[in-house]
Amino acid sequence: MRIGVGLWAASVLAIMGGTVYGQADKPQDGKKRILFYSQSCGFRHSVVVRPVTGELAYAEKMLKEIAGQAGYEVDVTQDFHDLKSDNVYKKYDAVVFYTTGNPPINRNALMKFIRDGGAFIGIHTATDTFHSESGPRPEDKCGAPWPEYVRMVGAAFRTHGKQHEVVIKVEDPNHPATKPVPADWKILDEIYLFKDFSRDNMHVLLSVDTTQLSDEALKALAMERGQDYPVAWTRTEGKGRIFYTSLGHREDVWTNPVWRQHLLGGMAWALEKGPR
């Protein structure tokens, strides 16, 4: 498989013009194994751009660090071919998406993986995936929309305002993804506004507290006071668990200790089995 397992390997193989390989099988020590997929078939965010030197992208390095501290094994890829085989998903306990556009992965295999008990973690742009016909450029036309994916992840990206500090409301303080998050947490990031979203279909963990934002801030964020702006949630699909957080656009968010623990808590929850 063409999946990166380390900075040195990524650099060497990129220089050689080859591809990066991951482990052949699950770790034998019982560690959870995660595949981080961050291909851009639409707008490409800076955190997933790999340097010309062949190093891993910033988000790839950060996720390996965050998950590694919890004892997880993380492989990374930006090549849809690595998600084409039915067998690839058998190697993993969870799949993490930071994607845009409509990459031509094996859709049936991904959905089967989740419904059979695999974990799906979506970060930021995972909701900007499979909901429109194509990206803004001809080279981004990777495939058709996939409504089943949108329903599975819980919503689709609609728009966003300017990057601005928001006040986060913790809606479930007892969830593993929210226990590290203080009340009235403030964070600067690009805050997504969604379509095809319903609280009936998910368990909302975090939302924007518009009551604590100024009129100027609301205008910058393209929000209206009193409206519902979810930030993170969970849901289930068959035997699988889905965790999504819309934060993670900016590089400094990936080093924010609260967000890192929020992400890690969500991953840990998704990797468990059973109902939410």
- Is residue 43 scored above 80 in pLDDT? yes
pLDDT band for position 4 (cuts 50, 70, 90) = very low
pLDDT, tens only, 224-274: 999 999 999 999 999 999 999 999 999 999 999 999 999 999 999 999 965
Residue 181 is predicted with a pLDDT of: 98
Looking at residue 27, what is its pLDDT?
56
Helices (H), 94-146: 107-115
Given a cut of 80, whether residue 77 has pLDDT beyond it is: yes
- Compute the mean pLDDT over every residue in the chain, rounded to the nearest whole number: 87
**Mean pLDDT computed over 144-166:** 94
- Rounded Cα distance, 133 and 130, in Å: 8
**pLDDT at 18 exceeding the cut of 60:** no
Which one is predicted more confidently, 8 or 31?
31
Task: Note the pLDDT tens digit of each residue in 85-121.
Answer: 888 999 999 999 999 889 999 999 999 999 999 999 9
Q: Name the residue type at position 139.
A: E
Give residue 268's pLDDT: 97
Q: Under DSSP, is residue 148 helix (H, G, I), strand (E, B) or coil?
A: helix
Walk across the sheet containing 203-208 and list its strands.
73-77, 33-37, 94-97, 119-123, 240-245, 230-237, 203-208, 164-170, 185-189
pLDDT grade for 132, boundaries at 50, 70 and 90: confident
214: helix, coil or strand?
coil
- Phi first, then psi, for residue 101 (nearest 5°) are 75, -155
- Asked whether residue 23 carries a pLDDT value surpassing 70, the answer given is no
Q: What is the pLDDT of residue 274?
A: 57
pLDDT at site 236:
96
At 1 the pLDDT is: 47
Say how many Å lie between the first and final Cα of the chain, rounded. 32
Domains within the chain, CATH numbers bracketed? 7-155+232-270 (3.40.50.880)
The arithmetic mean of pLDDT across residues 174-189, rounded, is: 97
> Distance (Å, rounded) from C-alpha 244 to C-alpha 218?
23
Q: Can you give the pLDDT at residue 10?
A: 38
Residue 110: closest CA among 240, 245, 268, 4? 240
Rounded to whole angstroms, the Cα distance separating 65 from 71 reads 10
CA 74 remoteness from chain centre: 14
The pLDDT of residue 13 is above 90: no
Compute CA distances 198 → 154, 202, 226, whole Å.
8, 7, 16
**Region 2-25: what's the mean pLDDT?**
38
Residue 175 has pLDDT above 90, yes or no: yes
Is 139 a residue whose pLDDT tops 50?
Answer: no
